[in-house]
Chain A
Amino acid sequence: MTEPLLALDAIDVRYGPTQVLWGVTLRVEPGEVVAVMGPNGSGKSTVLKAAMGLKGVSGGRVMFRGEDMTRRPATARPGAGMSIVLERRRLFPFMSVRENIELGAYARRLSRADLARSFDEVLALFPEIAGHLDATAARLSGGQQQMVAIARGLMGDPQLLLMDEPLLGLSPALQRHVIDLMGRINQRGVAILFNEQNAKLSFGLSHRGYLLESGRVVLEGSGVEMLDHPEVRRVYLGEEAA
């Protein structure tokens, strides 16, 4: 059996005196799309932040490509092949779109020429922002900002892309667009770990999925299994048990 790309091994996370994750175990295999689904406040964003090192863990281990990243800071991740698209875009608002995207490659320390090549490759996926490269990021529409945020994530040339609520607050048309992008990114061999509140979107899009409730993994399985699970159907899809 090959080594998983990312493995969270029974992690605990606290915010001050409040514990929000309890022994969460989760893995992402190379090239996989994995969903973390759960209601508001279940801790699904915290799972991603803990994987990225933006939130420290108080127990358990975070392994990435066989390497123990538990005690290493967030800044060690992008260079190792992990990027995150933060919730609600979180661009650098007063920088240009170009500067925002280029900063995504910060950790790779590329030469000018390599940076330009990488930039053009990534931008090819996002024709809609090509005309706005010199605009200040804050002036873009929400949908365009989401594209810039994803582009920034891809500039790290990740093997694993973490996406924190990538569909939140987008119109249905834009949601479809982002979903399509996720598919194309995955086709390039990039594994994706994302979270989402909607069960159909979560498990319909993913190879495997986890259901999180009150900071604990209560269910895991392939996307299809998850969609078919009576508990998911009853609670999250609003269907009466047959």
Chain B
Amino acid sequence: MTGTLLAESLINGLITGAIYALVGAGVALIYGTMRVLNFAHGEMMMLGAYFAWMGVAVAGLPVLLAFALALIGVMIVAAVIQRAVVAPVLAREDWSFRVIAATIGLSVALQSAAQLIWGEKFNALPYFLDGVVQIGPMRLPWQRAAIPIVAFVALGLSALLLYRSRFGQMIRATAQDAEAAQAVGIPAGLVHTAVFALSAGLAAIAAIMLAPIMSVNPWMGLPYILKAFAVVILGGLGNFGGAIAAGLLLGLVESFGVMVTSSEWRDVISYGLLIAIIWVRPYGLFGGREAA
């Protein structure tokens, strides 16, 4: 095993892990504030990629403008979903499974709707970053190298928002006790909607960064949602920081795991690890049960 191969695995792991962290942190944020497992989170990625592709490849908008519009579009869709589907289910008894079922249904319906609207064709978002970066002996296209950088900036900003702003205080208060938050005047319902939108925004960023090196298709969120759940469980359900750490860890484990087996076993390794860890540490690797 050469040093180059190790370095390559490390970097690939970081890139994949950064995407897992972005998607997983959003799932964790939603679970942390409203105890909802959002199975339609993968479709927020899918929509983000399609919106960006439409802006760039179809409408011919400048890249940054197209991405900004895509981000806003996804956040609006997520807010509508939270209002129309999640909030009504949460208002009832025995909601914890029902909301899972409702978002599973929504996930499949959105995939199917995307297929009807945009077709089954796999579309490509053109590379939007040029050049190659030299890391030691490795040459890495900026399009890939930028993924962890963008992810950490986005997650860093989210953490600042969460722990250093008045709005973040509202989110944390709502997460820890929604009724008590309402009692001091915090509009918990609006906070829930905002958290849904914010989390979908993180997923859309992940999808936009991935789109040029993968493809844009109706099912592109599917492989990531279960990974995001794995990340969220490993990080301790609802724990924002834990999800980020677990996302990176899972990316690295997969990357090195694939090095010793082969790529088709990558997901078996992740899910096997997930079940094994739940077996021995049901509340996650980092033990924290703190919400958001």
Contact = CB atoms under 8 A, between A and B. Distances in A.
Interface of A: 16, 52, 54, 73-79, 83-84, 86, 90-95, 99, 103-104, 106-107, 152, 156
B173 A103 contact: yes
Contacts of A95: 172-173, 176
B176 A86 contact: no
Interface of B: 93, 169-170, 172-173, 176-177, 179-187, 290-291
B187 A94 contact: no
A73 B291 CA distance: 25
Nearest to A137: B176
6 contacts: A74-B182, A90-B180, A92-B176, A103-B186, A106-B170, A106-B185
A156 B177 contact: no
Given A16-B93, A86-B179, A90-B177, A99 B169 contact: yes
Given A75-B186, A92-B181, 12 more contacts: A54-B179, A73-B182, A76-B185, A77-B185, A78-B183, A90-B179, A90-B183, A92-B172, A92-B173, A92-B177, A106-B184, A152-B184
Contacts of B181: 92
Nearest to A55: B179
Contacts, number: 61
A228 to B, nearest CB: 35
Contact of B185 (A78, A92, A94): A78
B184 A104 contact: yes
A86 to B, nearest CB: 6
A94 B183 contact: no
A93 B177 CA distance: 8
A78 B183 CA distance: 7
A178 B180 CA distance: 20
B176 A156 contact: no
Nearest to B187: A75
B184 A94 contact: no
Contacts of A94: 172, 176, 290-291
Contact of B183 (A16, A52, A79, A93): A52
B179 A78 contact: no
